[in-house]
Amino acid sequence: MTSSRLPIRLRAALAAALAAALAFSAGAWWLRHELYASKLAAALNQAEADLNTIESRYSGRGVPSYFQDRETWVIVDPEGRLVAGAPELTPFVPDPLCPSLPNTPPVARTTVHLGPVADSAPPGSRRLAGHDFTLFTGSFEGPGQADDGGPAPTVTLTLHLLVTPWEAEQAVADVDRVLYGGIPAAVLLVALIVWATTARALRPVEGIQQRLRAITARDLSLRVPVPPRRDEIARLAATTNDTLDRLEQAVEQQRRFTADASHELRTPLAALRADLEVALHYPDHTDWPSVVRDTLADAERLQQLTEDLLLLAGLDNHGAPPAQRVELNALAHNAATRARRHAPAAVRVDCRTGEDIAVHGDARQLERLLRNLLDNAVRHARSSVTLTVGARGSAVLLEVRDDGTGVPPEEHERIFERFARLDSSRTRDDGGTGLGLAIAREIAHRHGGTLRLDGTVSPGARFIAELPREPSR
């Protein structure tokens, strides 16, 4: 099983155990090293202090009492003969290692390697063979050995004190017995703590997962539980609920759009069928040119509605518009000319432009934006419609104003919804589909801009489209 298939809590526990094992192992190595070094340094300091006090503590009665329990010292006379100490050390202190040292300092410290010993050497000396030791050497005046059994003469004696690391090694061994059992137990404890902590932290994820399984396309009203803690999981749950809110709104909008589109398509189709059925039942009493004109009008309405629905479907894909340079002044004059041809005789359509202004985008879509705004303005104007193209900083402003009855404040946003009509303009004989302003806003958004209704104008209405301006060349 790969690591990606392991549960998160197990992966976290294993990672914590590995990190703890490395940390504890490094700490144990440092502890052993420091303990060994401190014990050995203490033994060396004690040996040096012992040698420094030998001359004042030594008497004719023999070696001071605090040396009697040591096994790693030896005193020899100038001829290298054993005066006192451990006999097993004598194989390791032959000439010239242990000469008489009348001219040496009181204390000399060297590192020696005790090599192999002869078969005739004392048994205890084999324990010392093959190791590196620190050797402290001191000389002092003391009684030597008398050959004839008489009083021992005073001679210069040499004491060799061998400092072994056995106490340091024993201390490290005692610590090792604790570490061998303590480190695995500590690593296991860390792993269990991380396992339990991770399991507790991930417990809300189980509730979120179960709730998500219960959410279906038929019922998007359910929301995942948000933990009381303000941690990453709580933020994830809140983000999930925000996503579900947007998804529910999108699905609801799609359902309304489907229902509205079906209703809008059914009305002209029903009228078209009724006109044709009546004409077929009474062919002799039918004004066929009038029937054809009415049928053609219904067909044109169906064609316009179908084109609007197809355009909205394409805009909903949120694809980036083509990066083409579009001259807005020429586009605005063309749109105004078309609006004049379709406007009633009592309505005047003006177009005001200034300096050359260009944007990046789709010329056909921008032309559709202007056409929809002008058609809406012409439909509600009393006597005049004005299209203005201007610039403000890095933005381009397209303003379409009419002198009609205006829009109530509570309807300023609803008019941009799909198939939205005000109560006063719900009649369909004027050719409106309720999609013009919705399409215009979608086009503005697709080009990185906005479309809004200015509520400060009265009477009439002023729509303002703001688009990013192309940088000057």
Q: What is the pLDDT of residues 221-242, one digit of tens each?
A: 888 888 887 778 888 888 888 9
For residues 147 and 170, which has the higher predicted lDDT (pLDDT)? 170
State the fold for domain 232-312.
Helix Hairpins (1.10.287)
By the 10 Å C-beta count (0-12 exposed, 13-18 middle, 19+ buried), 207 is classed as middle
pLDDT (0 to 100) of residue 397: 92
Query: What is the residue-averaged pLDDT of the chain?
Result: 79
Residues 250 and 256: their CA atoms lie apart, in Å, by 10
For residues 214 and 336, which has the higher predicted lDDT (pLDDT)? 336
For residue 464, name the pLDDT band (cuts at 50, 70, 90).
Answer: very high
Q: What tokens does 257 get? A: 């759009």
For residue 386, name the pLDDT band (cuts at 50, 70, 90).
Answer: very high
For residue 272, name the pLDDT band (cuts at 50, 70, 90).
Answer: confident
The 10 Å Cβ neighbour count of residue 284 is 4
Counting residues of the chain whose pLDDT is more than 90, the rounded percentage is 17
For residue 124, name the pLDDT band (cuts at 50, 70, 90).
Answer: low
pLDDT (0 to 100) of residue 283: 83
Helix (H, G, I), strand (E, B) or coil at 256: helix
The length of the chain in residues reads 473
Domain with CATH 3.30.565.10 in the chain: 319-468
Q: Which residues of 245-260 are buried (b: 16+ CB within 10 A; e: fewer)?
A: eeebeeeeeeeebeeb
For residue 169, name the pLDDT band (cuts at 50, 70, 90).
Answer: confident
For the segment 290-308, the average pLDDT, to the nearest whole number, is 80
Question: Considering only CA atoms, which of 45, 161, 172, 156 is closest in space to residue 101?
Answer: 156
For residue 99, name the pLDDT band (cuts at 50, 70, 90).
Answer: very low
Q: What is the DSSP letter of 36?
A: H
Cα angle, residue 207 at apex, residues 245 and 215 outer, rounded to 5°: 40
Q: What is the DSSP letter of 319?
A: P
Top mean pLDDT of 195-199, 290-294, 321-325 is at 195-199
pLDDT (0 to 100) of residue 131: 66
For the segment 35-53, the average pLDDT, to the nearest whole number, is 81
User: Are 247 and 218 in contact, with CB atoms under 8 Å apart?
Assistant: no
Q: Give how far the C-alpha of residue 367 lies from the chain's centroid of Cα atoms, to the nearest Å.
A: 44
Tell me the chain's radius of gyration from C-alpha atoms.
52
User: Are 425 and 387 in contact, with CB atoms under 8 Å apart?
Assistant: no
Q: Among 68-82, 298-312, 339-353, 406-420, whose mean pLDDT is lowest?
A: 68-82
Counting residues of the chain whose pLDDT is more than 70, the rounded percentage is 78
pLDDT (0 to 100) of residue 97: 43
Asked if the model's pLDDT at residue 98 lies above 50, the reply is: no
Residues 331 and 61: their CA atoms lie apart, in Å, by 126
Residues 220 and 334: their CA atoms lie apart, in Å, by 46
Asked if the model's pLDDT at residue 425 lies above 90, the reply is: no
Q: Which residues are 74's β-sheet partners?
A: 85, 160
For the segment 27-50, the average pLDDT, to the nearest whole number, is 87
Pick the CATH number of 319-468 from 3.40.50.1970, 3.30.565.10, 3.40.50.1000, 3.50.50.60: 3.30.565.10
- The phi, psi pair for 384, rounded to 5°, reads -150, 150
Asked if the model's pLDDT at residue 428 lies above 90, the reply is: no
Domain with CATH 1.10.287.130 in the chain: 232-312
pLDDT (0 to 100) of residue 52: 65
pLDDT (0 to 100) of residue 117: 60
Helix (H, G, I), strand (E, B) or coil at 272: helix
For residue 434, name the pLDDT band (cuts at 50, 70, 90).
Answer: confident
